[in-house]
Amino acid sequence: MFAHILLLGTVGGIGLSSYSPNPDPSLTDPNTEYAILVFRDMITDKEKAALSGLGVILYNYIPENAFLAKVPREKRNDVLSLNFISDLIPYHPAYRIQPGTGFLDHENPKYLDDCYILVSFFPDADLAKSKTKFLGLGAEILYSSEGYEPRMRLRVPRSSAHEAIVGIAKTEGVMWVQEEPESYLLNNNTRWSFQTHTQGDSLIWRHGLHGEGQVIGMLDSGLDYFHCFFRDESNPIGPNHRKVPFYRVYNSSGDDFASCDQDHGTHVAGTAAGNDIYDGNQQYNGMAYMAKIGCGDVQGNDSWACTMGSLDINSDLYTIYSDFFGYGARVMTNSWGSSSTSYDTYARDVDRFMHDNPDALVIFAAGNSGPNYHTVGTPACAKNCVAVGADAPFPNDNSIASYSSRGPAYDGRTKPAVTAPGGDANNGGYINSSDNNPNQQPSCNIQGNPFQGTSMATPVVAGAAAIIRQYYTEGWYPTGHPVPGNAFIPQGSLIKATLLASAVRMSGVSTAPIDSTQGFGRILLDEALYFGGDETIPKEMFVVDDRVGLSTGGQHQYQVNVDDPSMGFKAVLVWTDAPAAEGANPAIVNNLDLEVMTPSGTLYRGNNLSNYESQPGGTADAKNVEEMVRTSTAETGTYTITVRGTSVPQGPQPYSLVVLAGLASVPVYDKGPVPGRLFLRSPGIVRGKAVVSFGIPKESDVRLSLYDAAGRQVAVLAEGRMEAGSYTVELEASRLGQGVYFLRLVSGKDSAVTKTALVK
């Protein structure tokens, strides 16, 4: 067993700057060009440029202040002589193998005689040469992909697995080797539970938000598209199908749902987006029943897999989700997981996909290994996804389901993120939804027993996420009415921030959010989404969806005016972080921080809560990519919200911010002048020409730029060295297309952003 292999950055909790590796001599390669470069401090763009000039290629970040890199042999001494480099550690084969590889416990008999290995490569690896070597080691290549991070899935005889794993790790260009964890499925009142928590009141639906125009991608055991929740008698599967725009098979056999009577995927899809237009079962419609839902089928087809719900994922997750994205899906739901809790290839795939596709949000079931703590498995332990715990069905949904996996993640991050009804046979019953018919015959069956699990809670959150996305894409923000000129495409981080902001404390849980049982709490959309004239929850929203981002040392500030202190105050910051190297601990790469200053001068920092109340002062959170400030009552007056780029080695880092309070008005990225601080102001709507006002607190290099909704710079309105003071410039909109735009003011290391809508 590879017990001698240490996870990078976890040696007694000491950072890499103090790490002295001493691997098994048989698993070393002092001549490899791949190395761990350790920096003396946070890396700067100037230092990156200096390394690039020496032919150094930086790959994955390793907390803290280190990178996996490729360093030409002849340049090693030159690199070590740089004053910002602390150490250069050869990336020995020993460090490429996940601990326990070749010795994982499995239940599925297919793993008894064979070992399934996942291999990740550096971008410049010679794949043809690697394949030849792997075949010589007795490996069968089940799957191979190219791209920025090539991947292979191998099968080797269990009897010779150790020798094969060593040989694979010693292959130049191999970045990471791990044994494939065994992945399993994690298996009528819910519709008002997640909307208003008032029996019979589906307020969000009544406003006309049912998921129209949204596509959900599901990776599961398959989907019975003959069921009346999904059936379309006029169109085949494809873009014109009323419900299922795509169906892809990613298992080894190529079989779809008909080969196995495993109805898990059909049930999950029904909960997320099922819509019965044939048989009168509308009371069981999905959460976003007008959304479309496509399927990636990963059900194994052997008898064990069909009976126990074992999956066969014969692809990498990055490729699968990229396929979903290409079909139009922006919300991806996954009701499966594994018992492995480390930051592995699967978790990195999720983070890398979301980082590369910031409009996407991936949602995972937290797992069914509760009430034990530290049981949220991969891929749900990824940073950027939403991990979902399960509560009991309405009206018992203030209690966590006993089986729901608890966090925290292995590096102390908060998991799960939120909870939703998942069913509980001992406390409220099962979750009813569509049932599978493997004979490919039309069916309208509804099934409850035995469906309970975080599997059932996850599609509830996916449906809610689709509705939140519809809220923004139809322009409901900020007026509470659908205004086409206010429509914009939200980042996945904004959908996630809105979900977290909607979450409420579960009174039946002994500990308070943010915790390792309920995360931020049970989702309740009416807590967050504002509708004009809606007096049920009279809070208003202030939303920032910054696509430009922050660099190290930068900050953005926003101000809101509170006139109803009884509504309390809640601010949630979320960012989609860059992926860390497999095995990194902690997994965070870019660290932003949230600060809130009250009108009286009290400072609150993100995630410093006690009994669900933010506490003054405290230390900044350096682990999570979600931060919240919450007080049950608020002060009257102006709140100042600061987002800081504390450490951004792979930036700039975009982010999203949601504020809920009894606001006097809803600012549209309008930050009024604050003495001694940067400010930027523009009209919320521009027709023809408009005046943009800005001010800078001290002499500095200034740049005022205009960006479109996709983050592309389309104009520079002001640039140059300016003295402290207030300025105005003219924005000419006649040459630009109609839509949402963002103005960004940069003054030295400080910056401010405001949004404006250009109309004709």
Predicted confidence at residue 293, as pLDDT, reads 97
- Output 280 or 515, whichever has higher pLDDT: 515
Predicted confidence at residue 693, as pLDDT, reads 74
Predicted confidence at residue 1, as pLDDT, reads 36
Give residue 446's pLDDT band: very low, low, confident or very high (50, 70, 90): low
For 6-20, 616-630, 635-649, which range has the lowest pLDDT when averaged over its residues? 6-20
CA distances from 442 to 267, 433, 439 (A): 15, 16, 9
> What is the rounded distance in angstroms from the CA atom of residue 347 to the CA atom of residue 384?
9
What average pLDDT score do residues 601-618 get?
96
- The three-state DSSP-derived secondary structure of 166-179 is HHHHCCCCEEEEEE
Beta bridge partners of 550: 653
CATH topology of domain 538-663: Jelly Rolls (2.60.120)
For 45-59, 296-310, 551-565, which range has the lowest pLDDT when averaged over its residues? 296-310
> What is the rounded distance in angstroms from the CA atom of residue 300 to the CA atom of residue 295?
15
Q: Indicate if the pLDDT at residue 432 is higher than 50.
A: no
What average pLDDT score do residues 417-439 get?
58
Predicted confidence at residue 17, as pLDDT, reads 36
CA-closest candidate to residue 60, choices 100, 107, 95: 95
Q: Indicate if the pLDDT at residue 358 is higher than 50.
A: yes
CATH topology of domain 11-96: Alpha-Beta Plaits (3.30.70)
* Structure token pair of residue 744: 């960004």
Predicted confidence at residue 733, as pLDDT, reads 73
Cis peptide before 408 (omega within 30 of 0): yes
Give residue 667's pLDDT band: very low, low, confident or very high (50, 70, 90): low
What CATH code is assigned to 679-759?
A: 2.60.40.1930
Predicted confidence at residue 644, as pLDDT, reads 96
Longest dimension (CA), the chain: 75
Give residue 685's pLDDT band: very low, low, confident or very high (50, 70, 90): low
CA dihedral sign, ordered 420, 262, 295, 184: positive
| Domain 184-486 listed as CATH 3.40.50.200 | yes
| Helix H or strand E segment including 499 | helix 492-502
Give residue 643's pLDDT band: very low, low, confident or very high (50, 70, 90): very high
Predicted confidence at residue 229, as pLDDT, reads 84
Q: Indicate if the pLDDT at residue 682 is higher than 70.
A: no
* Structure token pair of residue 4: 């001698």
- Output 199 or 702, whichever has higher pLDDT: 702
- Output 601 or 675, whichever has higher pLDDT: 601
- Output 232 or 731, whichever has higher pLDDT: 232
- Output 28 or 694, whichever has higher pLDDT: 28
Q: Of the segments 27-31, 707-711, 753-757, which one has the largest average pLDDT value?
A: 27-31
For 103-107, 193-197, 359-363, 698-702, which range has the lowest pLDDT when averaged over its residues? 193-197
Note the pTM of the prediction, 2 decimals.
Answer: 0.81
Mean pLDDT (the chain) is 84
Residue with tokens 């506490």: 615
Beta bridge partners of 691: 730
DSSP string for 32-98: -SEEEEEESSS--HHHHHHHHHTT-EEEEEETTTEEEEE--GGGHHHHHTSTTEEEEEE--GGGGB-
Give residue 10's pLDDT band: very low, low, confident or very high (50, 70, 90): very low
DSSP string for 418-474: EEEE--BTTTTB---EE---TT---B--EE-TT--SHHHHHHHHHHHHHHHHHHHHT
What average pLDDT score do residues 341-345 get?
92
DSSP string for 627-643: EEEEESS--SEEEEEEE
Predicted confidence at residue 512, as pLDDT, reads 84
CA-closest candidate to residue 189, choices 444, 467, 393: 393
User: Going by C-beta distance under 8 Å and a sequence separation of 6 or more, which residues neighbour residue 511?
Assistant: 517, 518
What average pLDDT score do residues 286-292 get?
92
> What is the rounded distance in angstroms from the CA atom of residue 54 to the CA atom of residue 75?
7
> What is the rounded distance in angstroms from the CA atom of residue 259 to the CA atom of residue 306?
9
* Structure token pair of residue 242: 């009323």
* Structure token pair of residue 437: 């018919």
- Output 300 or 652, whichever has higher pLDDT: 652
Predicted confidence at residue 25, as pLDDT, reads 84
Question: CB neighbours (10 Å) of residue 676?
Answer: 8
> What is the rounded distance in angstroms from the CA atom of residue 622 to the CA atom of residue 601?
24
Give residue 743's pLDDT band: very low, low, confident or very high (50, 70, 90): confident
Reported as half-sphere exposure (CB side, CA atoms, 13 A), residue 580 has a value of 30
The model's pLDDT over 42-68, given as tens digits with 9 standing for 90+, comes to 888 889 989 999 999 999 998 888 999
Predicted confidence at residue 429, as pLDDT, reads 40
> Burial letters for 3-37: b for 16+ Cβ neighbours within 10 Å, e otherwise?
eebbbbbbeeeeebeebebebeeebbbeebbbbbb
Residues written for the chain = 760
DSSP string for 128-142: HHHHHHHHHTT-EEE
Q: Are 679 and 626 in contact (CB under 8 A)?
A: no
CA distances from 122 to 70, 175, 176, 408, 466 (A): 9, 6, 9, 30, 35
CA-closest candidate to residue 542, choices 672, 660, 685, 681: 660
DSSP string for 261-287: ---HHHHHHHHHH---SSSS-GGG--T
> Burial letters for 405-439: b for 16+ Cβ neighbours within 10 Å, e otherwise?
bbbbbbbebbbbbbbbbbbbeebbbbbbbbbbbbe
Residue 185's φ and ψ, nearest 5 degrees, are -70, 145
The model's pLDDT over 454-504, given as tens digits with 9 standing for 90+, comes to 888 999 999 999 999 999 999 999 888 998 888 899 999 999 999 999 999
Are the folds of 184-486 and 538-663 the same? no
Beta bridge partners of 728: 693
What CATH code is assigned to 110-179?
A: 3.30.70.1150
Q: Indicate if the pLDDT at residue 268 is higher than 70.
A: yes
The model's pLDDT over 71-104, given as tens digits with 9 standing for 90+, comes to 999 999 999 999 999 999 999 999 999 988 888 8
What average pLDDT score do residues 193-221 get?
79
Angle between helices 264-273 and 454-473 (to 10 degrees): 30
What average pLDDT score do residues 400-421 get?
93
Q: Are 216 and 466 in contact (CB under 8 A)?
A: yes
CA distances from 209 to 70, 183, 188, 470, 748 (A): 50, 34, 18, 7, 43
What average pLDDT score do residues 651-655 get?
91
User: Going by C-beta distance under 8 Å and a sequence separation of 6 or more, which residues neighbour residue 696?
Assistant: 678, 702, 722, 724, 725, 727, 747
The model's pLDDT over 173-192, given as tens digits with 9 standing for 90+, comes to 999 999 988 887 655 444 44
User: Going by C-beta distance under 8 Å and a sequence separation of 6 or more, which residues neighbour residue 675?
Assistant: none
Domain residue ranges of the chain, discontinuous segments joined by +: 11-96, 110-179, 184-486, 538-663, 679-759
Q: Are 183 and 345 in contact (CB under 8 A)?
A: no
CA-closest candidate to residue 308, choices 106, 108, 105: 108
Predicted confidence at residue 286, as pLDDT, reads 85
* Structure token pair of residue 135: 């075949």
Q: In this prediction, what percent of the chain has a pLDDT beyond 90?
A: 51
- Side chain identity at residue 737, one-letter code: G
